[in-house]
Amino acid sequence: MTRDQHRRLVAVYLVCCVMGTVSTAQRAQDFQRKASMLLAAEPENPKCFAEGRKAFTCFWEEDEERAGPVEQYSFTYAYQNENGSRCPLTVAPAAGGKKLFVCHLDRIQMFVQLDIQVHRESVMIHNRSLLVELVFLLDPPENVTVSSTGHQGQLNVSWVPPPLKYMDDSMIYEVMYAKEGDPAGQVEVARACSELILRGLQAATRYRVEVRVRLDGITYSGYWSAWSDPVWMETLPADLDPLIVSLTFIITFILFLLCLIVLLSHHRFFIKKVWPTIPVPDSKFQGLFTVYGGDLQEWLRQTSGGLWVTSALLYSEERPSPVEVLSELNLCRSLASPPLPPKACNASTQRDERELSNGSDSAQTDEWRATQQQHWLMERLRETRPGMGSSLLESQDTYVTLSTNNHSEEDHVDDTLEEALPLEMHVASRKTPLSEFHSDLGSGQQSSGSGRLSSQSSFEYPSQGWTPKGPGYTYMAVADSGVSMDYSPMSRVDDLGKVALYANEYKNEIPPHRRPFLTRQYHVHDDG
Amino acid sequence: PTGRMKIILRGLIALLLIVLEWTCPGLPSPPRPICDLRVLNHFIQEARDAEVAMKSCRDGCGLTELVSVPQTTVNFDDWERKNATEQAQEVQTGLWLLHQALGLLQASMTDVDLNNHIDNSIRNLLSINAVLRSLNIQEYTPPTSAVGLEGTWKVSSVAEVLQVHVNFLRGKVRLLLVGAEACQQDVS
């Protein structure tokens, strides 16, 4: 033999020795594990188990202190109707200061009763009769693989069954699965098959899966094997249930249809709320915008005022407004605002306006004029209404007085007039256009035209007195004898566009902050 | 036209006969093989029930003479060494022996409950024979004259007979069914 051959032989021998040592160690470890399981599961002694078609092992446990040498013990076994045989014993260490006496048989017979006796120094210590095919203790399933099935909450578990011929259809398996961190889990049973689908699992969760095997007990029987090594697997993440998604979509669509139907059936109501119609004075001022392009003066000139006056529609639509009282006539004392009956108003106002227009700026002349006017007015009043006199105050008539004013207060008047005049006044003038309230009257003073009162006007009776401002004011008193009059603030031509605004903002109420001021001065601009 | 019609009609009849011959052959076809072991499992469980019931029997449950029963011992290596015919003959011999033994029990048993179990067991043995026939296993009846048949035991108690009966079904009969060729073909 050459050196190389020698070396090869030595190497092969060493490899074999190592492998043998490894396998022996592995077998010893397996036996220790199974022995510990049987020690807990089997009460009888000796404890025996079959690992396959050929291997059969029996052992019993004794304390190291009490146990004698192995030679003292004898293990004899006999099959039914056969002579007994003796099994050589070996000793294996056990946990907790104990010793195991082990008998291992390589040739076994099944489906026949086996009688076992253990003697220690001719004294029988253990006795047992069993059937070998009923004490199987198999190795756990190998190659346990866990995979996803593609469906949510499912895992597919597969394994390789123990390689035992004739016994494949007698095996039952237990698959234990638990969530990560959960010590106890759930168990599923599989019969005579090598894969199982776990259902009802939580989504996106890591699961620990273990498998063990046992024979079903009809033909073959035995103990549960040890659990296989755990395998971890995560389930698929949660997916939107298509049923829920479709139902949500359908419900949303139905709600949208319902809203649409409601909107369409009440579209006029919603349009009115969202885009309120702004009243356009076209209907009332026929031809004002279409023919005259919004030129009110021209329109007034062309159209007759009778259209306004005779149009019952106008006045039926508009409510009579409360007129702020300018004065309360005190006949006993100084006549601040002599009242005038409406019938005599036209004539008297014409005259008054003429007189007023001729008034000077001097204080004395103004005072004298005021006094003169008061007297004249009173006389006129007495003439028309002889019975009035002192009873005038007790009458329910309301009065409107107009007074001239200094320029300084003109702006204030403009503000007061334009802010929120609750009055609507229709003043028709043949000659001059009514652009401003005070200016119109002023112009009315100059011309023959004057404020012609309509046949309908109503006033609130003043409850408060009104102190005259002084001789610098001229007054035009209008007495109401049950005739209603509508006033509308006629602005300048420039401000004609605001007419619509004023019409919109027209309210039939005195603004609260102005309520205490039941009297108001309408200052007539004296253009002189 | 009538001549043509006749020719066509004959052709159709011939075709019909050929088709019928394919679908319905003259000879009766063999029974479908019973490969499902659940049938045997059912028999095994009933035999076990009889064995358990026998343990509670006190009176009128004894045998007057020795009864031959088949040996139930199975060594897988030895079993695989035998061929199919030997295996089948061994199983059928054992079934015949058990049938004889259970017949003797039926005659001597006075316990009504146990008699029902034995009747059931005898019926199951006949069913197993039918199962073997379905697997194309040739019928074999051992010679009645042979006294010292190989592979037999002599038992003296009813309990032993029923125990042998259970073990025989679980062992050799099952191995024969599992390894039957008819069932192997189905699997492959």
Q: How far is CA A382 from the centre of its chain?
A: 76
Fold equal for A3-131 and A142-235: yes
- Residue B114: pLDDT band by 50, 70, 90 thresholds? confident
Is there a contact between A233 and A153 (Cβ–Cβ < 8 Å)? no
- Please report, as a single letter, which amino acid is at residue A129: S
Would you call B174 an interface residue with chain A, using a CB distance cutoff of 8 Å? yes
Question: Residue A99 has which token pair?
Answer: 């010793």
- Residue A465: pLDDT band by 50, 70, 90 thresholds? very low
Whether the predicted pLDDT of B107 surpasses 80: yes
pLDDT tens digits, residue range A347-384? 444 444 444 445 444 545 555 555 666 666 566 655 55
Q: Which of A107-111, A344-348, B108-112, B127-131 has the lowest mean pLDDT?
A: A344-348
According to DSSP, the residues that pair with A104 across neighbouring strands are A57
Within 8 A of B163 by CB-CB distance, chain A residues are 113
Query: Could you give the 3-state DSSP secondary structure of residue A526?
Result: coil
Q: Which residue carries 């309210």 as its tokens? A: A507
CA atoms of B8 and A78, how far apart (whole Å): 81
Q: Please state the φ and ψ torsions of residue A326, each to the nearest 5 degrees.
A: -95, -30
Rg of chain B on CA atoms, in Å: 24
**Selected residue with higher pLDDT from B127 and A467:** B127
Q: Please state the φ and ψ torsions of residue A71, each to the nearest 5 degrees.
A: -65, -20
CA atoms of B59 and B54, how far apart (whole Å): 11
Whether the predicted pLDDT of A268 surpasses 80: yes
Question: Residue A71 has which token pair?
Answer: 């030679």
- Shortest alpha-carbon distance between residue A225 and chain B (Å): 23
- Shortest alpha-carbon distance between residue A191 and chain B (Å): 13
Q: Which residues contact A151 (CB under 8 A, 6 or more apart)?
A: A236
Give the per-residue pLDDT at A498.
Answer: 46
Picking from B71, B75, B178, the nearest residue to A166 by CB comes out as B178
A131–B153 C-beta distance less than 8 A: no
What angle (nearest 5°) sits at the alpha carbon of residue B13, between those of residues B7 and B15? 100
Is there a contact between A237 and A194 (Cβ–Cβ < 8 Å)? no
Sign of CA dihedral A438, A439, A441, A445: positive
Give the per-residue pLDDT at A210.
Answer: 95
Q: What is the mean pLDDT of residues A383-401?
A: 48
Q: What is the mean pLDDT of residues A228-248?
A: 88
Within 8 A of A112 by CB-CB distance, chain B residues are 71-74, 167
Picking from A107, A169, A218, the nearest residue to B44 by CB comes out as A218
- Residue A329: pLDDT band by 50, 70, 90 thresholds? low
- Shortest alpha-carbon distance between residue B73 and chain A (Å): 5
- Residue A150: pLDDT band by 50, 70, 90 thresholds? confident
Counted across chains A and B, CB pairs separated by less than 8 A come out at 50
- Shortest alpha-carbon distance between residue A221 and chain B (Å): 12
Q: SS3 for chain B, per residue? A: CHHHHHHHHHHHHHHHHHHHHHHCCCCCCCCCCCCCCHHHHHHHHHHHHHHHHHHCCCCCCEEEEEEEEECCCECHHHHHHCCHHHHHHHHHHHHHHHHHHHHHHHHHCCCHHHHHHHHHHHHHHHHHHHHHHHCCCCCCCCCCCCCCCCCEEEEEEHHHHHHHHHHHHHHHHHHHHHCCHHHHHHHC
Would you call B74 an interface residue with chain A, using a CB distance cutoff of 8 Å? yes
Would you call B167 an interface residue with chain A, using a CB distance cutoff of 8 Å? yes
CATH code that applies to domain A142-235: 2.60.40.10
Give the per-residue pLDDT at A526.
Answer: 44
Q: Please state the φ and ψ torsions of residue A223, each to the nearest 5 degrees.
A: -105, 160
- Shortest alpha-carbon distance between residue B76 and chain A (Å): 7
Locate the domains of chain A by residue range.
3-131, 142-235, 242-271
The residue in chain A having the minimum alpha-carbon distance to the alpha carbon of residue B39 is A218
Would you call B19 an interface residue with chain A, using a CB distance cutoff of 8 Å? no
Within 8 A of A166 by CB-CB distance, chain B residues are 76, 174-175, 178-179
- Out of A408-422, B78-92, B131-145, the most confident range is B78-92
CA atoms of B35 and B90, how far apart (whole Å): 19
Give the per-residue pLDDT at A506.
Answer: 45
Whether the predicted pLDDT of A156 surpasses 90: yes
Q: What is the mean pLDDT of residues A332-353?
A: 45
Give the per-residue pLDDT at A497.
Answer: 46
Give the per-residue pLDDT at A440.
Answer: 41
Q: What secondary structure letter does DSSP report for A513?
A: G
Would you call B170 an interface residue with chain A, using a CB distance cutoff of 8 Å? yes
B153–A166 C-beta distance less than 8 A: no
Give the per-residue pLDDT at A158.
Answer: 94
ipTM surpasses cut 0.95: no
Give the per-residue pLDDT at A17.
Answer: 87
> Is the CATH code 3.40.50.300 the one for domain A3-131?
no
CA atoms of A428 and A272, how far apart (whole Å): 35
Q: Which residues contact A363 (CB under 8 A, 6 or more apart)?
A: A471, A472
Q: Which of A30-39, A171-180, A239-248 has the lowest mean pLDDT?
A: A239-248
Is there a contact between A346 and A476 (Cβ–Cβ < 8 Å)? no
How many residues does the structure list for chain B? 188
Is there a contact between A400 and A483 (Cβ–Cβ < 8 Å)? no
First-to-final CA distance of chain A? 156
Picking from B73, B163, B170, the nearest residue to A219 by CB comes out as B170
CA atoms of A355 and A351, how far apart (whole Å): 6
Whether the predicted pLDDT of A436 surpasses 50: no
Give the per-residue pLDDT at A127.
Answer: 93
CA atoms of A104 and B148, how far apart (whole Å): 35
Within 8 A of A106 by CB-CB distance, chain B residues are none
